[in-house]
A and B are shown apart, each in its own frame.
Chain A
Amino acid sequence: MNNSKKIVLIGHFGVGKSSLVRRYVQNTFTDNYMVTIGVHIVKKEIQLNQKSITLIIWDIEGKDDIKKVRASYLIGTSGFIYVVDPTRPQTYEHITSEINFITTQYPKAKYLTVANKSDLIEPEEIKRLFDSLQIKIDYFASAKSGDEVSSVFENLAQQLLDNV
């Protein structure tokens, strides 16, 4: 079988899922907010430690509850990226239960948690905020500046390659 993997970005609307994908795949950013309807699928082929992997990235529309996401969009996913907006508490208040849902429903899938829009708050302040809430965030990224965006996808891709 070929080495293509399905990656799905999940999170509330407006947290910057599409912006992260656009920054990673096209290296562009726009301030104009365009809501994703249904799903947008893009592809990126990368090389990691001389191994190639094709990421089929499903950027699905934002939902305030992961159970409201169409189950058929999540089936067969190898890696999830859970995105939150540190400036809007409602985007991470249920993160623990939602991550539990993912790990229960898709036990073989890998996942990473990402706080986007790190350009809006001092990184130390965001870390303190999530530490105080006992929420584990893997990456503090910014689709606007491009900071840590590639690291998110490459880390997940590496985990998927290691899992083969």
Chain B
Amino acid sequence: MNDSEKLQRLKELLLDEDRDFAQKILHKLESLDQTIQTPEKLSEKVNPIIDKKLDVFVEEIPTKLGPTIADALTKSQDKVVEALFPIIGKMIKKYIQQEINQLTEKINSQVQDTFSIQKWQRKIKAFFSGVSEQEIILSEINKAKLEQIFVIEKGSGLLIASASNSESIDEDMIAGMLTAIKSFVEDAFINGQQSLESIQYELSEIYIQNFTSYYIAVVISGELNTSVKNELENKLFDFAQKNPISETTTKEELSLQLKTLLANE
């Protein structure tokens, strides 16, 4: 073994361990580099950590961000209103414009119908009643219309007869639920001594006329003013007088009478 071989052997003995170590680090680095450069591998490693952090974040939103947002909204109410006002304002304006256009069209079509009998009837009515023709037209446009009539047995809520101008859910169920609501209100708020007379919802109203063993519920759309209500009451009393309800009354014949009442309205 010459000197250079000895030197080489010495180098191997001294540096082999370090070289192995350096080699291992190099492998590690290459592996890490590959992980970072390959999106699939990187997401495999990172996703669980992000998911866990996100879960914690979501859990903490109500406690941490909730009060902050509420506080920010309270402090800057004016700014919020300022930001929302144009959007909501535009929506309301558009809706009102549309409604006014529809109303104008209806009024115009009625006013332009110069030669109709209704127009002359209106003019005469306006002259004698002192109410302007425009107001009469407006009242005619939103005139109350009978949509459905139910004759319902008191207490049991069983449907005796019904008639309808439009499709609705099962009449027996309506009769039962209406009776349950009526009974509940009468028990809870008016001490059972008085009777529920109407239920209002947006553009319609259920008018209730009580009789001894049954009641009549009328679904009305449009404006139910006092004079229309009086007229309706009279019609229902007439109906009850002409059609006394007994054990022999059939659902079909009474429903037919109700249909006539709706048609003549």
A residues within 8 Å of B by Cβ? 1-2, 4-6, 38-39, 41-43, 54, 56, 58, 70-73, 75-78
Q: How far is the CA of A74 from the CA of B153 in the complex (A)?
A: 13
27 A-B pairs, CB-CB below 8 angstroms?
A1-B160, A1-B248, A1-B250, A2-B250, A4-B158, A4-B172, A5-B158, A6-B156, A6-B157, A6-B158, A39-B180, A41-B173, A42-B173, A43-B170, A56-B156, A56-B158, A56-B172, A70-B183, A71-B187, A72-B155, A72-B183, A72-B184, A73-B180, A76-B153, A76-B155, A76-B157, A77-B156
Report chain B residues within 8 Å CB of A41. 157, 173, 176-177, 180
Contact A38 B184 (CB under 8 A): yes
The distance from the CB of A57 to the nearest CB of chain B, in whole angstroms, is 9
Contact of A2 with B160 at beta-carbon distance under 8 Å, contacts A41-B180, A72-B155, A72-B184 already known: yes
Cβ of B98 within 8 Å of any chain A Cβ, yes or no, is no
Mask of B168-189 contacts with A, CB within 8 angstroms, 1/0: 0010110011001001101100
Report chain B residues within 8 Å CB of A5. 158
The distance from the CB of B243 to the nearest CB of chain A, in whole angstroms, is 13
The distance from the CB of B31 to the nearest CB of chain A, in whole angstroms, is 52
The distance from the CB of A46 to the nearest CB of chain B, in whole angstroms, is 14
Indicate which residue in B159, B183, B247, B248 contacts A4 across the interface (CB closer than 8 Å).
Answer: B159
Report chain B residues within 8 Å CB of A56. 156-158, 172, 176
The distance from the CB of A130 to the nearest CB of chain B, in whole angstroms, is 31
Q: How far is the CA of A5 from the CA of B156 in the complex (A)?
A: 8
Cβ of B125 within 8 Å of any chain A Cβ, yes or no, is no
Contact of A38 with B158 at beta-carbon distance under 8 Å, contacts A54-B172, A56-B172 already known: no
Contact B251 A58 (CB under 8 A): no
Report chain A residues within 8 Å CB of B186. 72
Q: How far is the CA of A5 from the CA of B158 in the complex (A)?
A: 7
Report chain A residues within 8 Å CB of B184. 38, 70, 72
Report chain A residues within 8 Å CB of B247. 1
Known: A75-B183, A76-B158. 6 other contacts (CB 8 A): A1-B249, A6-B158, A41-B177, A41-B180, A43-B172, A71-B187
Q: How far is the CA of A18 from the CA of B158 in the complex (A)?
A: 20
Contact of A72 with B187 at beta-carbon distance under 8 Å, contacts A43-B170, A43-B172, A56-B176 already known: yes
Indicate which residue in A43, A54, A71, A76 contacts B156 across the interface (CB closer than 8 Å).
Answer: A76
Q: How far is the CA of A42 from the CA of B157 in the complex (A)?
A: 12
Report chain B residues within 8 Å CB of A75. 154-156, 183
Report chain A residues within 8 Å CB of B249. 1
Report chain A residues within 8 Å CB of B250. 1-2
Q: How far is the CA of A39 from the CA of B184 in the complex (A)?
A: 10
| Residue in chain A with minimal CB distance to B158 | A4
| Residue in chain A with minimal CB distance to B185 | A72
The distance from the CB of A67 to the nearest CB of chain B, in whole angstroms, is 14
Report chain B residues within 8 Å CB of A38. 180, 184
Report chain A residues within 8 Å CB of B156. 6, 56, 75-78
